[in-house]
Structure 1
C-alpha cells in the first residue's frame, strides 16, 4: 500500500519526512482538540442576541425565497454586508433541516469556517518559524479567550476571520511560493469581501502595500507580481457580485456604496488596544515576550516585519471602521498568535511552570464550579447553590442528558490525564492551556447549556405569545422594540411587526410593547385591552405586553 502525507503548504513533492517518535500522538491530540472545540456549542440552543439575531433573520429570509444577491434581515431597508457567509449558512440549514432546527443547521457552517481558521493559523506558524511551531500556534488560538466566546455564533465575523487568516498565511508564504501565495491571497480578498465587505480587503491590501513601502526586503519584482495577480484574480468574483447587485436593485446598491464610503469615521483604536489585555490571553503575553526576545531583529527580518505591519494596519482599520464590540477584534489575534507561537521555546522554565500551573488551577476551578452547579441542579444539594443557579437561569430543574453527560465525563478525564501525565516543558504549557480551555468550554456547552439557553433565549417568550394571539387580526404594531428582539420575534413567530417609530400611527388590531425597568411602563389608551404579558425566565430588565384594540 502506498503511503503518503500532505505537507503543510502542498509542496510539489507532496511528501513529508517520516514522523518522529511521539509526533503522531501530538497530531492526534491536536485533531481531537480542534474537533471538540469546533463542534461543541454549535447546536442545542436557540439564537442568542445580540450576535445571532441578524444572521438568523437573513438566513430565514433566504430559505423563505428571498434574494440570493442581496439578502436582507426582516424589516431592513439597507444591506449591511455581502451575502457569502449567509448563503453558506442557509445552505447548511437546508441540508440539515430534516434532522435539526434551522438555527442549529445554519450554525453548523461555522465548523468549516473555524476549521479554516485553525488550519491557516497553524500553517502560518509553521511557515514563519519551523516544523512543530504550527501546533503551538493552533493550541494558542484554541486557548485564546476572545475567540472561544464568540466563534460559535452565527456571525459573519467568523467568515471574515477565516479569510483574513488565509490572507495572512499567503503573505507569510509569498517569499517561498509566490504563485501559490498569490492564489491564496486572491481567495482571501474575494471571499473576505463577499462575506463581510470592505474591511477584510482593507486589512490585507493595506498590509501588502505598506510592507514594500517600509521595508526593502519586500520591495521585489516577485512580490509585485504576487500582489498584481492576486488583485486581478480577486477582482473578477467581486465585480460579478457588484454588477449583479446593481442590476438587482440600483437604489439599494447606491445606499450600500454610500454607507461603505462614509463608514470610516470612528476613533475606537484605544478600545481595541485595551480589550486585548483579556481578549488575547494567552497570546498577548507570549507575543510581548517575543517582542523582547527578538527586539534586535524586529525591523530586519521579514517575518517580524509582516507581523508588526499586519497588527498596525489591522488596528488602524478596526479603529476607524468598526464599532466597539468584542467580536470585531478577531483579526488582531492573528499576528499575536503567530508571534506568541515562536516565543514558546524561549520561555524561562520558571515562567513556563508558573503559566502552566496557573492554567491548571484556573481551569480546574472553573471545571469544578461547573460540575458543582450541575450536581446542585440535579440533586438539590448544596441547596444555596441550586437556588442561585435557579435565579440566574430561570430554570427550576434540569433533566439529565445522558449523551451530554458522557461527553462531559470523557473530556474531564482527558483534561485530568493531560494535567497528571504531561511533562513540564515549554511546549506542554500551551498544550495544557488549550486542553484546559477546551475542557471549560465543553463543560459549559454540555452540562450548563440548558441553563444558559434558558437565560438567553427568547423562544419560550415568543412561543407563548403565539398561543395568546386571537384567531383574527390584521397586523401588530410595536413600540420600543429593540432591533435584536424584533428580528428574533419574526424568526420565532413568522410575524412582521409594524414599528410605531416608523409608521407613526397605530393602525393594527394588536399592539405590543417592550418595557424597560429603568424607564417605567407606558400605558396605552382605554381603547386597548391587555391580553398577554411575559418576559424571559431570568430577565431582570425587559418585559413584553400585548394589547388588543377594544372593538
Structure 2
C-alpha cells in the first residue's frame, strides 16, 4: 500500500494554481503542431520516403506486397505492415481529390501524410485521458490546507493532464518524427494507447484490457519486436504484487489473447506467402539485440538529454520528490513505461531516434507530476528560462534566414552557403507572412506572461510548448525551400530517369550497385525507377562518392562506360553514376 496521503505527499497546491486552461488554446496548439511541416515538402530519406515507397508499391503491385512490404522489387523485411496499410488506404481514398489541384505524385504524397493526424490525435488524447485518470486518484492529491482552498480532484487531474499534453508537444526530439511517413509516429501513438489502457484498467478493467490488446498488437504490426517488446515488458511489470493493478492481473489474459489473435491474422498468411521475407524479418528483429557495448551505451546516454529536452530533468525530479510513492499508480505506471524502453535500448545494437521516442511519453507524464511539488520561485525561474531559451531560438532562425537571403552576417552566410551549395535563393512571401504571424504570436505569449502573471501551474508548459511550436513553424516556413533542396532526391531522380529513357537500349535492364534503401525508395517514388536483380543487366546505377571516383576505388572503374553522373547539388559526399558494363 502507498503511504498515507496526509503524511507525506510532496504536492503543495492551491485551487488558483489549477485554474482551467482554455480548451481552445490546446486545440490551436495541436493543430499548428501537426500541420506545420507536414505538407508542402518532398519526402526525405530514409524513413520518410521508405514508408511512402512501401505504400505506393502495395497500391501499384498488389498481391503479396500488401502482407509483405516491398520497395518495388526490394523486400523491405523490416518493421511491419500496419502503417503501410493505413497510408495506402489514404492514398487510394483521397489522392483522386488532391489530383484536382496538383500532380498525381504530389497528390499521393499529400494523401500519405493524412494518417499522421490519426497518430497525433491518438497520442494526445491517450496521454491526456490516461494522465487525467491517474491525476484524479487519491495518491497524488496535494496536501489538504488547514483552512481549505486546495484544488478539487477534478481540477487537479485536469491540470496535470494539460501539463502532460503540453510537455509531450514541447519535447524536442519527436517533433520531426511526428511528421514522418513512417512507423515512428504510429508507434508513439500505440504506446500512448497502452499507457491509457493500463490507467483505465484501475477502474474499468474490461474495456481497458480490450484497448490494451489492440495497442500491443498495433505496436507489433507497426515495428515488430523492436517496437513492441519494450511496451509489452512495461505492461507486464506494471502488474507487480505491490502495485494497485495486481488484483487486475487476470485481465492481462484477455489483452494477451486479443494481441495474439490480431498478430497471427497477419503472421500466418504472411509466413505461408513469403517464407524468405519472413526469415529476413525475423533475422532483422533478432539481430537488433545484443549485449551492451560501451561506445553505444555512451552514445545513447549522450543523445537522450537532447532528445528528451525539456522533460527529462523534471521527470527525474518527480521520481525524487515522489520517492516514497513510487509504487503508487501515478508514479509506477509511467516509471515502467520509461524503464523498460530504456533497458531494451541498452541491449539494442544500433538504438537511435525510433527507440528514443518511446521515452518521450513517460518522461512527459512524470514531468507533469513534478509540477505540484515545485516552489513558486522555482516555477517562475523556469518560466523565464523558457522565455529566454525560445526567444533565442526564434531569433537564431530569423538571423540565419537573413544571412541566407542577404549574405550578412558574413560568417554565418558562409557556413550556410557551404551546406546549400547550388541553391537558388528566393523568398516565398506567403511563408514569410506565416513566420511573421508566428513570431508575433510568441511575442504576445511572452507579453501575456509578463503582464498577466497567471497563477495557473501550467503556465511554464504553455511557454515551452508555444516556444517550440513557433521555432518549428519558423523552420518549416522560412527554411523549407532550402531544406527541400538539401534533403530531397526529386531533381537527381528526374535526371536519372531522363538518362535511362534516352540512353537505355530496347530491352536493356538496369540493376543497382551500392544504392541505399532511402535512395532506392526515392527513385521509385519520384520516377518509378525500379532495379532488376539479374546480374546480367548491362546497365548499372551506382552510388559512390567523388573521392572514390577520383582515386579509382569505385566499383567498375576499369571496365565500364560512364553514361551519366549526377548528385544532389548540396551533397559533397554522395554521387550516382549510370554505367554500361561490357562492350559498348
Q: Could you state the TM-score of these two structures normalised by the residue count of structure 2?
A: 0.82
Whether the 8 Å contact between 1:124 and 1:169 is mirrored in structure 2 is yes
Deviation string for 1:313-346 (max 9, x for gaps)? 2222333346222222111122211110111232
> Which residue of structure 1 aligns with residue 4 of structure 2?
none
Separation in 2 of the partners of 1:370 and 1:258?
Answer: 43
Alignment of 1:46-65 (within 5 A): 46-65=42-61
> Which residue of structure 2 aligns with residue 516 of structure 1?
545
> Which residue of structure 2 aligns with residue 103 of structure 1?
109
Specify which of 433, 439, 455 is matched with residue 406 of structure 1.
433
Distance 1:480 1:240, change over 3 A: closer
Separation in 1 of the partners of 2:351 and 2:227?
Answer: 17
Secondary structure of 2:40's aligned partner: coil
Distance 1:266 1:22, change over 3 A: closer
> Deviation of residue 125 (structure 1)?
2.1
Whether the 8 Å contact between 1:480 and 1:515 is mirrored in structure 2 is yes
Alignment of 1:294-443 (within 5 A): 294-299=322-327, 301-321=328-348, 323-378=350-405, 385-422=412-449, 423=453, 426-443=457-474
Secondary structure of 1:132's aligned partner: helix
Distance 1:204 1:392, change over 3 A: closer
> Which residue of structure 2 aligns with residue 491 of structure 1?
525
Secondary structure of 1:64's aligned partner: helix
Q: Could you state the TM-score of these two structures normalised by the residue count of structure 1?
A: 0.87
> Deviation of residue 191 (structure 1)?
1.5
Separation in 1 of the partners of 2:76 and 2:231?
Answer: 26
> Which residue of structure 1 aligns with residue 567 of structure 2?
535
Whether the 8 Å contact between 1:530 and 1:545 is mirrored in structure 2 is yes
Separation in 1 of the partners of 2:258 and 2:577?
Answer: 54
> Deviation of residue 478 (structure 1)?
3.2
Specify which of 177, 184, 197 is matched with residue 150 of structure 1.
177
Deviates more, 1:394-403 or 1:78-87: 394-403
> Which residue of structure 2 aligns with residue 28 of structure 1?
24
> Deviation of residue 379 (structure 1)?
5.2
Secondary structure of 1:87's aligned partner: helix
Residues 1:449 and 2:489 aligned together: no
> Deviation of residue 42 (structure 1)?
1.3
Separation in 2 of the partners of 1:392 and 1:436?
Answer: 26
Deviation string for 1:59-99 (max 9, x for gaps)? 12112123212222234346212211111112223334224
Separation in 2 of the partners of 1:453 and 1:197?
Answer: 31
Secondary structure of 2:22's aligned partner: helix
Long gaps (5+) in structure 2: 1-15, 136-156
Secondary structure of 2:179's aligned partner: coil
Whether the 8 Å contact between 1:146 and 1:327 is mirrored in structure 2 is no
Alignment of 1:77-88 (within 5 A): 77=75, 79-88=77-86
> Which residue of structure 2 aligns with residue 125 of structure 1?
131
Whether the 8 Å contact between 2:227 and 2:355 is mirrored in structure 1 is no
Distance 1:271 1:121, change over 3 A: farther
> Which residue of structure 2 aligns with residue 12 of structure 1?
none
Separation in 2 of the partners of 1:346 and 1:198?
Answer: 37
Distance 1:410 1:521, change over 3 A: farther
Distance 1:145 1:521, change over 3 A: farther
> Deviation of residue 445 (structure 1)?
0.7
Secondary structure of 1:478's aligned partner: strand
Specify which of 292, 301, 307 is matched with residue 320 of structure 2.
292
> Which residue of structure 2 aligns with residue 68 of structure 1?
66
Whether the 8 Å contact between 2:288 and 2:350 is mirrored in structure 1 is no
Whether the 8 Å contact between 1:113 and 1:159 is mirrored in structure 2 is yes
Deviates more, 1:150-159 or 1:521-530: 521-530
> Which residue of structure 1 aligns with residue 145 of structure 2?
none
Distance 1:539 1:430, change over 3 A: same
> Deviation of residue 117 (structure 1)?
1.0
> Which residue of structure 1 aligns with residue 5 of structure 2?
none
Greater RCO (Cα-Cα under 8 Å, separation 6 or more): 2
